[in-house]
Structure 1
Amino acid sequence: MLLETAPGPFSHSEFIFEPKVDGHRLIYSQQAEKVRLFTRHNNDCTRQYPELLLSFDSDIILDGEVACTDPETGLNDFEAVMSRFSTKQASKITQLTHKLPATFAIFDILFYQGRDLRKLPLVERKMILHSLSLPSSNFGVVPHIEGAGEELYTQIEAMGMEGVVGKRKDSQYLSRRSKDWLKVINWSYADVFITGYKKSEFGWLAAVPDPTGKMRPVGIIEHGPSPKHKQAFHGVCQQLVTGEDKNHVYLEPRIQARVKMRSWTKSGLLRIPVFDQFIV
């Protein structure tokens, strides 16, 4: 079940609200005491997370996020969990199990003790989920509150966490995107210069000045601009071309834009930048 995006924080008596965990989606499936782990795209990632291959008291299917915690900030570390996900070598996986332990943050239960639970209202699924005995401290249930989405968002924003998810109390579990589940992202913002664009598909090259005044690339803007924004950009950019290669056309850093993003990466790149507006 996938999330739609809400235009902003909201409160509603028919919704529960929970913190959005900054990791990657994980389906935990235990059948005949054998545990398998899958991403939302049905990619098997069982071998990447040996600390999560522990059994419950019955066959079960759970939905949640696998995450790693930054020991310095106590916040979810998206880059750390991506490092865990991309590691394939057995010895390295064992090493990272101790260095970057994974946590499975569970927010839904789809099957338990021979029953398909997907048609139950969410609040009933939550009750069953909270009654489980978890197999280790690497498992946790995502907490939630009723109604007070704006209050929770204020707390999430102050802590620098990713955002909030609102879910209808009576929602069934649907294997598609649904407005019954809504995400509110705690965006960060940055002002960047557009220093070029991709030839084959849409993408604006973004950069910021370093302490010496030289432009430092920080990523590619692939989402956000309307057709009018794109038209305005192309009306100006042809006067600013400085060169090109097989994949890109390069521009003088004269066009400035504000982008929203999830965060800065540790290597100084924009994480999932989305165009917000031109700065004139």
Structure 2
Amino acid sequence: MDLFDSRSASPMLIARQTDPFDDPDYIYELKMDGFRCLSYMDQNAIDLRNKRNMKMLSKFPELKEIFKNVRNRCILDGEVVVLVDGVPDFYRLQKRTLLTDRFKIELEASRYPASYVAFDCIYAGKRELVWEPLVERKNSLSELVIENSRLAVSRYIEEQGMALYQAAEARKLEGVVAKRKNSIYYMGKKSNEWTKFKRMADEDYVVAGYIQKGRHTYSLVIGKYRGEILMYKGHVTSGVTSEAVSMLKVTGRNPFRMLPTENKDAVWVELDHVCTVEYMPNLQNSLRQPVFKGFRDDIFPKEVQMES
């Protein structure tokens, strides 16, 4: 079946993080601190899907008209972002994804409207573009999109990855993505053809429980799966709010086979929340200065696996 009609596309993923580099075979663009989505657009409507292929337009109603700014039927890959003072604000974005009340969503949309920043085009007209080189897909993207305040095309530069990273670091932006110019689009796969340079490293973890350390201070107990077994990976305290903890469902069942003694006061919860933790990169297999960045609902907990 046609890729557009079947809604069966899935995003290509970045396989690794490296130190910044310059290379004439690569292009470089800013890494948006946003929410990855594929957008299916034609002359009548937009269908916005996250990495789990869940419909997301109800969370971002201010994007419902952006289909009017593309010249042909297409599938675009990009990020939904919320800008505050010209800088992506992940907190405001994440808050929106967790809302379910229509009135509250509309209120947030009016106060902090989201935009869609497209960086790739994998389908145009009636043709799949996944086997075309990246630079040709970029050309198709530029020809398709008429930019406005809600829809933009990601800008890129050639060769000078280190300079762009230094500029991103100076503004405390998330980082830079480097992409090989001739890379094809591997749907649903991690590829070394795309890599990222980030100020901070981040990883996803399954939330297994929490420990209350003060009146308004909490630590989340986190883990990763090895096959079907959840392995303990530590705690994160900074950034954890009582609002975040209130979203967890208490079970009272310890999900770990082995657990350090400092977790004796933990409240165990349903293993249905995945969080992103940001930390300072280091050579040890540990989280240095970890910060809770937020929950995400675009991957399943069992997908959060330890590296083999």
TM-score (norm 1): 0.71
**Distance of 1:271 and 1:198 partners within structure 2:** 13
1:198/1:247 contact within 8 Å kept: no
Query: Where does residue 195 of structure 2 map in the other structure?
Result: 182
Unaligned runs of 5+ in 1: 190-194, 209-215, 220-233, 249-256, 262-268, 273-280
Q: Which segment is superposed worse, 127-136 or 163-172?
A: 127-136
Q: Summarize the Cα distance change of 1:129–1:206 in structure 2 as closer, same or farther, 3 Å threshold.
A: closer
CA shift for structure 1 position 271? 3.0
State the Cα deviation string for residues 155-192 of structure 1 (Å, max 9, x = none): 11111000110000001111111001101111189xxx
Query: Where does residue 46 of structure 1 map in the other structure?
Result: 57
Matches within 5 A, 1:191-202: 201-202=231-232
**Distance of 1:270 and 1:47 partners within structure 2:** 26
Query: Where does residue 259 of structure 1 map in the other structure?
Result: 288
Q: Secondary structure at the match of 2:27?
A: strand
Give the one of 77, 81, 84 matched to 1:63. Answer: 77
Query: Where does residue 136 of structure 1 map in the other structure?
Result: 148
Identity level (%): 28
**Distance of 2:198 and 2:144 partners within structure 1:** 29
CA shift for structure 1 position 25? 0.1
Question: Across the two proteins, how many residue pairs are aligned to each other?
Answer: 227
**Distance of 1:271 and 1:136 partners within structure 2:** 29
Query: Where does residue 125 of structure 1 map in the other structure?
Result: 137
CA shift for structure 1 position 260? 5.2
2:49/2:55 contact within 8 Å kept: yes
Query: Where does residue 227 of structure 1 map in the other structure?
Result: none
**Distance of 1:37 and 1:91 partners within structure 2:** 20
Matches within 5 A, 1:149-160: 149-160=161-172
Query: Where does residue 48 of structure 2 map in the other structure?
Result: 37
1:187/1:260 contact within 8 Å kept: no
RMSD: 3.2
2:18/2:195 contact within 8 Å kept: no
Letter of the structure 2 residue corresponding to residue 131 of structure 1: E
Unaligned runs of 5+ in 2: 1-11, 203-218, 224-229, 245-258, 270-285, 295-308
Give the one of 103, 108, 112 matched to 2:115. Answer: 103
TM-score (norm 2): 0.65
